[in-house]
Structure 1
Amino acid sequence: AIASIFMQQIKDNVLAPKLMGDFTGLNPIWIFIALLIGGQIAGLLGVLVSVPLAGTIKDTIDTLRLLRQPSVVTTETVSRNPNDS
């Protein structure tokens, strides 16, 4: 029974957040925080919805950061013909 409880704790607290983090792109710490906040706000439904919602928020912030980056302008001329040097 002790070995079973130990393995369950490892699976739930180490392996599951790591796999969820790889799937959603979130750090496992943020997954725990999202689960805790979702549980406090909306109970079981909040726990079920919190990780996808956190992933969506992360992707939105990443997209906004990419849009704010300045465009790269080059001054070099690129030749399309490999024989032109």
Structure 2
Amino acid sequence: MIKKRYEVDYGVRVSSVELFGQASERGIVKDDVILEVNKQKINSVKDFKEALAKAKEGEAILLRIRRRDKTTAFVAIEMGKK
């Protein structure tokens, strides 16, 4: 489904976004596809969780995101407490 709809071969779809959370404030919306975290390709939810686990509290991570309109965006988010 991701491959056909977004024309990408990898990534994980955002199923929900916390209202007033950092992701929401940075413009990430439901159905965006996270392609990379800090230039690391994301192929599964497991990959995504592992990439986040590597980040330290207060560190900024860079997400590469594919939008529904097939544009690509880069979004920086500061990691909170784990």
* Normalised-by-shorter TM-score class: under 0.3
Structure with larger RCO (C-alpha < 8 A, sep 6+) = 2
Task: Return the structure number with greater helix share.
Answer: 1
TM-score by length of 1: 0.24
Structure with larger Rg: 1
Task: Return the structure number with greater strand share.
Answer: 2
